[in-house]
Amino acid sequence: MDGRPHGVAAVLWDMDGTLVDSEKVWTVSLRETAAWLGGELSAAAREAVVGSNMADTLDVLFADLGLARRPAALARARDELVRRTGELFAAGLEWRAGAREALRVVKAAGWATALVTNTERDLTELVLPAIGREHFDVTVCGDEVAHGKPRPDIYHRAAELLGVPVQACVAIEDSPTGALAAERAGAAVLVVPCEVPVPAGPRRVERRSLEGLTPAVVAATLHRVHTRSAA
């Protein structure tokens, strides 16, 4: 043991689809933005952008609608998507099952914590008061790193801000995009799927929901991943 609770350095929380059921909100705002652009969002495109960052989401949206990716058009679509998503976020979001208690359990265990979300800062700030800013030592948003998920930058940044090695962190994610980002960074990943299935992986441990999450479950996730890596 290294003095940290159960050997875990920090718990890194995704937001959309993990703590709050906001992916359904994104579905509404994406469909409405597609209509605003004169088209209709396909089911395949919606699935492809679950957990994605803004730049990749707009690329998929424009490709899906057969639109040229001109910078001015992308900027206008981004503004419309953020505006509508902000309205829906401000109206309130539902918690994922067990998420509220899981935040308390993790904080009470004494681990450092971070919110690590592809959602941009201005939208995240609409949600943080309801989730509870006090649950996180730091927050990192998708527009605060060079590349959002599925690239690992955002997880590296969170670990850097907390002053801990990312390999000793447990990331809690719901999407293939988020799980891949955390995995690429070197974290152990506790996967709690929401909108889409998440493929298995050597650094991933899946759990049906956050209900009944305990410090032992978090610690076991890190242990299982490290055991696999050493095999």
Domains, the chain, in order of start with CATH, read 5-22+94-230 (3.40.50.1000), 23-90 (1.10.150)
> If we measure between CA atoms, which residue out of 47, 32, 135 comes closest to residue 86?
32
| Each residue's pLDDT tens digit, 174-184 | 999 999 999 99
Per-residue model confidence as pLDDT tens digits over 204-229: 999 999 999 999 999 999 999 999 88
**Beta strand extents in 32-76 (DSSP E only):** none
30-65 per-position pLDDT tens digit: 999 999 999 999 999 999 998 888 999 999 999 999
**Which SS3 state, helix, strand or coil, does residue 118 take?**
coil
**pLDDT tier for residue 70 given thresholds of 50, 70 and 90:** very high
Q: For residue 195, name the pLDDT band (cuts at 50, 70, 90).
A: confident
| Residues 112-148 pLDDT 10s | 999 999 999 999 998 999 999 999 999 999 999 999 9
Q: Residue 183: exposed, middle, or buried by beta-carbon count in 10 A (0-12, 13-18, 19+)?
A: buried
Residues 196 and 176: beta-carbon distance below 8 Å:
yes
Strand order in the sheet with 138-141: 138-141, 112-117, 10-13, 169-173, 188-191, 204-206
CB within 8 A of 208, min separation 6: which ones?
Answer: 192
pLDDT of residue 116: 98
Mean pLDDT of the chain: 94
Which pTM value belongs to this model? 0.85
Cα dihedral sign, 29-182-145-98: positive
Closest to 173 in 3D by CA, of 98, 105, 115: 115
Joined tokens for residue 225: 């991943």
